[in-house]
Amino acid sequence: DAGVTQSPTHLIKTRGQQVTLRCSPKSGHDTVSWYQQALGQGPQFIFQYYEEEERQRGNFPDRFSGHQFPNYSSELNVNALLLGDSALYLCASSLAHAGGHIQYFGAGTRLSVL
Amino acid sequence: GQQVMQIPQYQHVQEGEDFTTYCNSSTTLSNIQWYKQRPGGHPVFLIQLVKSGEVKKQKRLTFQFGEAKKNSSLHITATQTTDVGTYFCAGQISSGSARQLTFGSGTQLTVLP
């Protein structure tokens, strides 16, 4: 039973570029949430996808967008990268109708913006 | 918006000493979850508390949810080097179909052998 998988593991980009991060949820899960974790901070909620739609969004600009596919996998896109976008990006999957919405995290993608 | 504050930010203890981290929310929560992140790793779910005043134990770890469902604590008895990592609380407010978790900033635990 595969857990949450994310790709790539590391990425280096320059300011102004665009990036796409990918996530496959844990088997049987239908909801994917994306988080940004800066060094020494807790994960900050970006948005959540369920049934291929963005269900909820945190306090992030429109440069951050996403998508969920019919197989429940998801992508996070960030346009016009800024230095401040450098962080660990975590994908977490969960089951919509399970109690408590427990998050199962992937290992993350470490994004460095130069 | 909802805020979750966690203290202390850092804690160094000698192996065998106890450790406690505290979590406070600006709003009443439907539940609170605790996660552990090892250095270089990703957050791993530890436990969820739902009921007012709830106390749960996992071996040396004791979790409490406050009566007002706005605060929580994690207490580790007789720490071991395997307890090293950052402990996060995450509060959830149920609002319709939305289930957003708000994480605290975490308490980084160092255990000195």
Cα–Cα distances in Å, from B35 out to A18, A65, B79, B97? 31, 26, 17, 23
- The per-residue pLDDT for A22 is 98
Q: Which of A26-40, A89-103, B24-38, B55-69 has the lowest mean pLDDT?
A: A89-103
Find the CB nearest A108 among B42, B45, B98.
B42
Residue B3 contacts A where some CB pair is shorter than 8 Å: no
Q: Mean pLDDT across chain B, nearest whole number?
A: 93
Phi, psi for A99 (deg, rounded to 5) = -65, 135
Looking at CA atoms only, how far is residue B45 from chain A in angstroms?
7
Mean pLDDT across A51-73 = 95
pLDDT for A97 beyond 80: no
Q: Given pLDDT bands bounded at 50, 70 and 90, which one contains residue A20?
A: very high
pLDDT for B99 beyond 90: no
Q: Which residues of B touch A49 (CB under 8 A)?
A: none
Q: Which residues of B touch A104 (CB under 8 A)?
A: 45
Residue B6 contacts A where some CB pair is shorter than 8 Å: yes
Q: Given pLDDT bands bounded at 50, 70 and 90, which one contains residue A91?
A: very high
> How far does Cα A32 stand from its chain's mean position?
8
> Which of A84, A45, A102, A98 is closest to B49 using CA atoms?
A102
